[in-house]
Homo-oligomer: A and B are copies of this chain.
Amino acid sequence: MKRFKIGELSVDSGTPLLSEGSSTPQVFTALSGMGLRYKTLETGERQVISFIMPGDFIGLQAAVMGEMQHSVEATTDMVLCVFDRSALWDLFKHEPQRAFDLTWVAAVEEHFLGETVASLGQRTGTERVAWALVRLYIHLSALDLRKGDSIPLPYRQQDLADALGLSLVHTNKILSSFRSKGLAVWKDSQLTVPSLEKLATIAALDPEREPIRPLI
């Protein structure tokens, strides 16, 4: 992969990395920090598509489709590995294994989006929030970012609400109920989950079946 690496990029929190409709010459891999992937509807509402964590690949759509269909923004300071988009074709020609990995990444991404669709479509508000927290907890644990029963979660409640298709107020009330029941406490960009099992039960989710995310 190093042959295609252009360099590293450090950005401050709040920086837009890619914008809907743009076609940047670069693609990224997140090395540290977190971000958001979102779409803006014609009506102005924002839908958060996914939360970006270290190891995530950013910009595949722009690379193969020529234009981004969603925006990406850093919510904390981030360090990114930068690749040249035009090198992608060389990858396919000369490094079939890497190209295959890339397709794998796309397929895994598709799988997670499918899960999201299922959650938005079939779960209630409470289940959705529990589901999201469990998923984030598992993912960040796998990334070795968990300390004890807490993970870093540098987002606003509004971000979670926009990801789950709930209003900010309602999301807040659900989080508040989790807090009073001791199921999950999200405060100061830290999420503490005393019992993942209990939360997973509410989410109607089997944590064992969650696949691992890819790393390139």
Contact = CB atoms under 8 A, between A and B. Distances in A.
Contact of A117 (B47, B60, B103, B107): B47
Copy number in the complex reads 2
Contacts of A103: 60, 64, 92, 99, 102-103, 106
B65 A108 contact: yes
Interface residues of A, number: 49
Given A103-B106, A121-B120, A114 B69 contact: yes
B107 A64 contact: yes
Contact of A165 (B99, B122, B205): B122
Interface of A: 39, 41-43, 45-47, 49, 60-61, 63-65, 69-70, 89, 92-93, 96-97, 99-100, 102-104, 106-111, 113-118, 120-123, 162-165, 204-206, 211
B116 A64 contact: no
Nearest to A68: B111
